[in-house]
């Protein structure tokens, strides 16, 4: 795409079209600026419009937040078992310009050339949530079954969510709900949360009897409770 360089605003995209009838300037959501004009219009007119629009451009850009800092980078571990792989793909008009796919041990995210930071970050976050949900269904299902058998506790059903107010809950009917954000915790804290919820199948409260049961099943529970306060149930970096 042709560009016009400006000392204040940097690169300005020039879009020429046979269907354009006048010259228009646009500030995009990614803070870039474009000027569209009829195909045979002199570039000098685009420069003139840019100069006349400086005050409006400054006001508009002031309302647009800066591009987000990408919290994840190529090669990062998402949760416990998926490494992020970011790759560039040509936009062939058939496949989506942005997308993600989960394979064995890998979260693949793709983007077009010169990606929009907002769109790329959104795609990575969607992929990370999908990867953590996959991990939660695999690991937490096996682990809670093991811990229930080990400690002589029973639950009726297991559910997964993206709850951001608590790590888990247990209903009066023995249904345990776990947030997928657990997969970002150290394994010992994951076990503590699972044991905590399993104990609620016996004590649906936080009475002394409940904490005594937790202490029997998890002697280091006080240390784990303190450590858990340093984390929050949410996607890391969000």
| pLDDT the model gives residue 1 | 42
For residue range 150-167, list pLDDT tens digits in order: 999 999 999 999 988 899
Domain ranges of the chain: 3-62, 77-130, 132-228
* Mean confidence (pLDDT) of the chain: 89
pLDDT value for 134: 96
Q: Compute the C-alpha angle 114/115/118, nearest 5°.
A: 145
Q: What is the pTM of this model?
A: 0.70
pLDDT at residue 12 in the model: 86
Cβ-based neighbour number of residue 198 at 10 Å: 26
Distances (CA, A) of 32 to 28, 70, 155, 198: 5, 18, 54, 53
Q: Write the pLDDT tens digit of every residue in 197-231.
A: 999 999 999 999 999 999 999 999 999 999 999 99
Q: Does domain 132-228 have CATH number 3.40.50.2300?
A: no
Q: Lowest mean pLDDT of 39-48, 170-179, 205-214, name the range.
A: 39-48
Give the residue from 105, 196, 190 showing the smallest Cα distance to 151.
196
pLDDT score at 40: 85
Q: What is the mean pLDDT of residues 146-151?
A: 97
In this structure, the number of other CB atoms found within 10 A of the CB of residue 120 comes to 19
- Distance, CA of 115 to CA of 184 (rounded, Å): 28
166, 179 contact by CB (below 8 A) = yes
Residue 26 has pLDDT above 50, yes or no: yes
Q: What percent of the chain has pLDDT over 90?
A: 65
């Amino acid at each position: 795409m042709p560009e016009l360089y400006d000392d204040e605003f940097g690169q300005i995209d020039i879009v020429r079209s046979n269907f354009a009838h006048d010259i228009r300037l646009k500030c995009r959501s990614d803070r870039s600026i474009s000027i569209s004009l009829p195909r045979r219009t002199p570039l000098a007119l685009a420069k003139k419009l840019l100069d006349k629009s400086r005050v409006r451009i400054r006001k508009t850009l002031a309302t647009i937040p800066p591009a987000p800092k990408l919290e994840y980078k190529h090669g990062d571990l998402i949760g416990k078992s998926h490494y992020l792989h970011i790759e560039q793909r040509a936009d062939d008009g058939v496949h989506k310009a942005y997308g993600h796919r989960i394979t064995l041990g890998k979260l693949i995210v793709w983007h077009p050339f010169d990606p929009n930071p907002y769109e790329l970050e959104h795609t990575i976050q969607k992929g990370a949530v999908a990867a953590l949900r996959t991990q939660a269904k695999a690991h937490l299902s096996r682990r809670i079954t093991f811990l229930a058998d080990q400690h002589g506790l029973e639950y009726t059903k297991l559910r997964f969510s993206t709850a951001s107010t608590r790590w888990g809950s247990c209903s009066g009917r023995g249904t345990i709900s776990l947030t997928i954000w657990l997969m970002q915790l150290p394994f010992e804290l994951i076990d503590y949360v699972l044991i905590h919820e399993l104990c609620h199948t016996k004590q649906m409260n936080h009475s002394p009897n409940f904490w005594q049961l937790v202490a029997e099943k998890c002697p280091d529970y006080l240390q784990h409770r303190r450590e858990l306060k340093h984390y929050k149930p949410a996607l890391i970096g969000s």
